[in-house]
A and B are shown apart, each in its own frame.
Chain A
Amino acid sequence: AQKITQTQPGMFVQEKEAVTLDCTYDTSDQSYGLFWYKQPSSGEMIFLIYQGSYDEQNATEGRYSLNFQKARKSANLVISASQLGDSAMYFCAMRERFRSGAGSYQLTFGKGTKLSVIP
């Protein structure tokens, strides 16, 4: 079974509008971390936002916020006031705690959502 599910292969949003990118996850750990990364066409992976499983408040970073619903195991990314430069692939990822050695730091990535911002 997939550990990270991103059900939207592609999304369109009008410039200046808000958009929500969906992410659900599956883990039996109590302690875990959730990440969102942006990948422009250039190929680099840019860290956007992090949510820890024990964080009571939703994470926010500028125009990015994470809608964390722990009981539903969802960690949706909300981008407010979309800009043309937001057009990119977006990946949700999870780090689970209880692994040994290098596995402690391994992230599991979803398949990504391609966001296109329309002028």
Chain B
Amino acid sequence: SAVISQKPSRDICQRGTSLTIQCQVDSQVTMMFWYRQQPGQSLTLIATANQGSEATYESGFVIDKFPISRPNLTFSTLTVSNMSPEDSSIYLCSVVGQFYGYTFGSGTRLTVV
């Protein structure tokens, strides 16, 4: 299975600022996925990122708030823009892994103050 390096592992940010989360995969993958996990909740898919095309966003998520970059087949970034305390969550990137399930990055724990 692919190994994903996700950075930063955690951050505390001021409201109104933006944070960019990076994911580097050790092999080429067609699709990368970004998830949000709010405190005490399950995972919610934000968007699917394909190389060379715009990301596909799930209902309730918009590009202006969560712009995604996918410059090549091993790298992607998610930016959380104009942050508010409600954006405090764990953000996870993932790729298709074993048995067509997911392999996840180690997660970014974001706190907005």
- Chain A residues packing against B (C-beta within 8 Å): 33, 35, 37, 42-47, 50, 52, 91, 93, 95, 102, 104-107, 109-112
Contact B104 A93 (CB under 8 A): no
Contact A107 B99 (CB under 8 A): no
Interface 9-mer from B19-27, B40-48, B73-81: B40-48
* In the bound complex, CA of A38 to CA of B1 (Å): 17
Contact B109 A35 (CB under 8 A): no
B25 to chain A, nearest CB (A): 15
* In the bound complex, CA of A73 to CA of B43 (Å): 22
Chain A residues whose CB sits within 8 angstroms of the CB of B92 once the complex forms: 43, 45
Chain B residues whose CB sits within 8 angstroms of the CB of A44 once the complex forms: 104-107
Indicate which residue in B50, B96, B107 contacts A45 across the interface (CB closer than 8 Å). B107
Chain B interface, DSSP helix/strand/loop, else mixed = strand
Contact B99 A45 (CB under 8 A): no
* In the bound complex, CA of A45 to CA of B109 (Å): 13
* In the bound complex, CA of A91 to CA of B94 (Å): 16
Which B residue sits closest to A105, measured CB to CB? B96
A43-B90, A112-B42 given; A107·B104 CB < 8 A: no
Chain B residues whose CB sits within 8 angstroms of the CB of A95 once the complex forms: 100-101
* In the bound complex, CA of A106 to CA of B96 (Å): 9
Indicate which residue in A42, A52, A111 contacts B106 across the interface (CB closer than 8 Å). A42
Residue B71 CB within 8 A of the other chain: no
B58 to chain A, nearest CB (A): 9
Which A residue sits closest to B55, measured CB to CB? A102
Given contacts A33-B99, A106-B45, A109-B42, 12 further A-B contacts (CB under 8 A): A33-B101, A43-B37, A44-B107, A47-B97, A47-B98, A47-B101, A50-B98, A50-B99, A52-B99, A93-B101, A102-B33, A102-B48
A27 to chain B, nearest CB (A): 15
Question: Which 7 interchain pairs have the tightest Cβ spacing?
Answer: A43-B107, A45-B104, A102-B48, A50-B99, A44-B106, A109-B42, A43-B90
Contact A111 B42 (CB under 8 A): yes
